[in-house]
Amino acid sequence: MEASTGAGYETALVRRRYEAVDPDNRLVARTLERDWEQALAAEQSLRGEQQRALAEEPEHLTENDRDAIRQLAQDIPALSRAASTTARDRQTIARMMLERVEILVAGETERAELTCHWSGGTTTRHAFTRPVRRFEQLEHFDKLLARIMDLRSQGATAQSIAEMLNAEGWTPPKKDNFNAPMIHRLLQRRGLGTTRPIWSGNVPRQHDGEVTLQEYADRVGAHRQTVYGWLRRGRIKGRLAKVGSQRIWLVNAANTSTGI
């Protein structure tokens, strides 16, 4: 506003000079006329700039607008949830309010805690599960393995073990759910998946003389496959007992000679 007023004053001054000059003094008159035209052009340019600046200036807030802003500033969650708040607005709010973020990881496990330090001294904490690469990194890996072995000892298949683990809320690394191949690989890495499980205490026996094929092999000092060959050829007697979904050979050690 001051610039345009000053330009108007300069234009009026040049105009008065032009009007006051003797018309017969044409050289002075042409010079003053040129100065007047330049002053008019400068004044018009400044007025145009002023109009553009006024058009770009935001509207003045009313007192009601100011009260609404103060209320929203005191309830940031409501401001963030508002339908008129865009994703970019939420990011801007977070950058303005969030001073520092800390992440604490429990060793190499999947358990972690996020701590947010907000403006004004407020602190919030959020526990979350981070992705890990190996089973051994899971916080409760020992309990998980014990659970798998317990289910395996009951005769559960890899598929049924996976289904039970999923139902109980266990989660594997890098995946959302367990599956049968995953159980097989885990058992093999632990040296437990290459042979069929061997039971002793959970096998239903008809009398004390019955032992599993492996127990009999240990007694006579032979390999389990060798003893199984004797069983197939009838050199020793045995029967099949069912444990869960598996069938186990039992041998009557009391009536079987160990001098085969």
Label residue 165 by pLDDT band (50, 70, 90): very high
Distances (CA, A) of 87 to 71, 84, 94, 101: 21, 10, 11, 20
Q: Is the pLDDT of residue 168 over 90?
A: yes
What whole-number distance in Å separates Cα of residue 182 and Cα of residue 144? 13
CA pair distance 218, 73, nearest whole angstrom:
78
pLDDT for the residue 27: 62
Q: Provide the pLDDT for residue 185.
A: 82
Encoding tokens for residue 89? 């607005």
Instruction: Return the higher-pLDDT residue of 206 and 162.
Output: 162
- Residue 61 is given by DSSP the state P
Give mean pLDDT, residues 197-225: 70
- The whole-angstrom separation of Cα 111 and Cα 141 is 12
Confidence check: pLDDT of 167 > 90: yes
Question: Where is mean pLDDT largest: 15-24, 82-91, 216-225?
Answer: 82-91
pLDDT in tens, 86-114: 999 888 888 888 889 999 998 888 889 99
Which of 136, 135, 177, 187 has the alpha carbon at shortest distance from 157? 187
Amino acid 46: pLDDT: 79
Global pTM?
0.41
pLDDT of residue 104: 92
Confidence of residue 9 (pLDDT cuts 50, 70, 90): low
Distance CA 21, CA 28 (A): 7
In angstroms, the CA 181 to CA 234 distance is 37
Please compute the mean of the pLDDT values over residues 133-139 and round it to a whole number. 85
The residue with greater pLDDT, 166 or 93, is 166
φ and ψ of 210, to 5 deg: -80, 135
Burial 212-224 (b: 16+ CB within 10 A, else e): bbbbbbeebebeb
- Give the residue-averaged pLDDT of 129-148: 87
Asked whether 218 and 200 are in contact (CB, 8 A), the reply is: no
Q: What does each C-alpha distance from 260 to 219, 221, 253 come to in angstroms?
A: 12, 11, 13
Least confident of 55-59, 85-89, 94-98, 227-231: 55-59
CA–CA separation, 64 and 260 (whole Å):
103
Higher pLDDT, 51 or 91: 91
Q: Which residue has the tokens 């599960």?
A: 129
Q: Which pLDDT score, from 0 to 100, does residue 63 have?
A: 84
Q: What is the mean pLDDT of residues 166-191?
A: 85
pLDDT value for 166: 93
Q: What are phi and psi of 239, to 5 degrees?
A: -145, 160
Q: Is the pLDDT of residue 136 over 80?
A: yes
Q: Is the pLDDT of residue 229 over 60?
A: yes
pLDDT at 18 over 90: no
Joined together, the tokens standing for residue 207 give 């009398």
Query: Smallest Cα–Cα separation from 227: which of 246, 250, 202?
Result: 250
Whether the predicted pLDDT of 13 surpasses 60: yes
75 DSSP assignment: -
What pLDDT was estimated at residue 15? Answer: 64
Distance CA 177, CA 79 (A): 37
